[in-house]
Structure 1
Amino acid sequence: MSPVMTAGRAVAEIIRRHGVTHVFCVPGESYLPVIDAFYDMPDVQLVLNRHEGGSVFCAEGYAKASGRAGVAMATRGVGAGNLAIGVHTARQDSTPLVVLLGQVPTRFLHREAFQEVDLAAFFRPVAKWAVQVEHPARVPELVAQAFRVATAGRPGPVVVALPEDVLDREVDFRPPAPPPRPRPRPAPDEVESAVRLLLDAERPGILAGGGVLRAGATPVLVQFAEALAAPVFAGFRRFDVFPNDHPLFLGGLGMATRPEIVDFVRSRDVLLVVGSRLTEFTTQGYTLPAPETRVIQVDIAPEVIGAVCDVEVGIVADAGMALGDLLEAVRASDFPGSDRHRHRREAAGALRAVYERITAPRPMAESEPVDPEGVMHDLQAILPPEAAIVTDAGNFSGWPARFYRFRRPGTHFGPISGAMGYGLPAAIGVAMATPGRPVVCLAGDGGFLMTANELETAVRHRVPVVSIVFHNGMYGTMRMHQERRYPGRPIGWALGDPGFADLARAMGAHGERVERNRDFPAALRRALAAGGPAVMELITRPERLSARE
Structure 2
Amino acid sequence: ESVLNIISESSKPLIIVGGGDWDEKGAKDLVHFAENNYIPIAVSFRRQSLVNNNSTIYIGDLSTSVDMNLIKYVKSADLILVIGARLGEMTTKGYTTITNNGNQKIIHIYPDSNELGKVYKPLIGIESNSSECAKILRGKAIKNITWKKWTKMGNDNYIRYSTPSPYKTEPDMGKIITYLKHTMPNNTIVTIDAGNFSGWIQRFWTFSEPFTQIAPTSGAMGYAIPAAIAAKIAKNNTQVIAFCGDGGFMMSSQELATANQYDIKPLIILINNNMLGTIRMHQEIHFPRRIITTDLINPDFKLLASSYNLHSERVQKTSEFPNALDRSIKSKKAAIIEI
Q: TM-score, normalised by structure 2?
A: 0.94
Unpaired stretches in structure 2, ≥5 consecutive residues: none
Partner of 2:79: 270
**SS at 1:210 equivalent:** coil
**SS at 2:228 equivalent:** helix
Amino acid at match of 1:320: S
Partner of 1:310: 121
Alpha-carbon distance, 1:263 to partner: 1.2
Partner of 1:210: 19
Q: Say whether 1:295 aligns with 2:96.
A: no
C-alpha separation between the residues in 1 aligned to 2:321 and 2:79?
44
Partner of 2:280: 479
Partner of 2:256: 455
Q: How many residues get paired?
A: 337
Amino acid at match of 1:324: K
**SS at 1:453 equivalent:** helix
Alpha-carbon distance, 1:211 to partner: 4.1
Partner of 1:392: 193
C-alpha separation between the residues in 2 aligned to 1:363 and 1:382?
21
C-alpha separation between the residues in 2 aligned to 1:324 and 1:436?
30
C-alpha separation between the residues in 1 aligned to 2:129 and 2:64?
28
Q: Percent identity?
A: 33
Amino acid at match of 2:106: V
Is the contact made by 1:211 and 1:299 (CA closer than 8 Å) also made in structure 2? no
C-alpha separation between the residues in 2 aligned to 1:367 and 1:381?
22
Q: Say whether 1:379 aligns with 2:180.
A: yes
Q: TM-score, normalised by structure 1?
A: 0.59
**SS at 2:107 equivalent:** strand
C-alpha separation between the residues in 2 aligned to 1:212 and 1:502?
41
Given candidates 135, 144, 152, the residue that maps to 1:349 is 152
Amino acid at match of 1:515: Q
Alpha-carbon distance, 1:488 to partner: 4.9
Is the contact made by 1:212 and 1:241 (CA closer than 8 Å) also made in structure 2? no
Per-residue CA deviations over 1:489-545 (Å, capped at 9, x if unaligned) read 43321001311122001111111111111111111122223222111111xxxxxxx
Per-residue CA deviations over 1:265-302 (Å, capped at 9, x if unaligned) read 11111111101122321111122322232111112222
**SS at 1:452 equivalent:** helix
CA change 1:215–1:514 in 2 (3 A) is closer
Alpha-carbon distance, 1:196 to partner: 1.3
Given candidates 321, 324, 332, the residue that maps to 2:132 is 321
Is the contact made by 2:7 and 2:79 (CA closer than 8 Å) also made in structure 1? yes
Q: Within 5 Å, give how 1:75-90 maps onto structure 2.
A: none
C-alpha separation between the residues in 2 aligned to 1:512 and 1:327?
46
Alpha-carbon distance, 1:217 to partner: 1.1
Given candidates 481, 497, 511, the residue that maps to 2:312 is 511
Amino acid at match of 2:98: P
Is the contact made by 2:106 and 2:122 (CA closer than 8 Å) also made in structure 1? yes
Per-residue CA deviations over 1:459-505 (Å, capped at 9, x if unaligned) read 11111101111000000001111222233543321001311122001
Alpha-carbon distance, 1:373 to partner: 1.7
Partner of 1:493: 294
C-alpha separation between the residues in 1 aligned to 2:20 and 2:190?
19
Partner of 1:237: 46
Is the contact made by 1:474 and 1:493 (CA closer than 8 Å) also made in structure 2? yes
**SS at 1:195 equivalent:** helix
**SS at 1:455 equivalent:** helix
Per-residue CA deviations over 1:99-120 (Å, capped at 9, x if unaligned) read xxxxxxxxxxxxxxxxxxxxxx
Partner of 1:221: 30
Alpha-carbon distance, 1:215 to partner: 6.0
Per-residue CA deviations over 1:441-470 (Å, capped at 9, x if unaligned) read 000000011000000100111111011110
C-alpha separation between the residues in 2 aligned to 1:290 and 1:449?
41
CA change 1:362–1:502 in 2 (3 A) is farther
Q: In angstroms, what is the RMSD of aligned CA positions?
A: 1.7
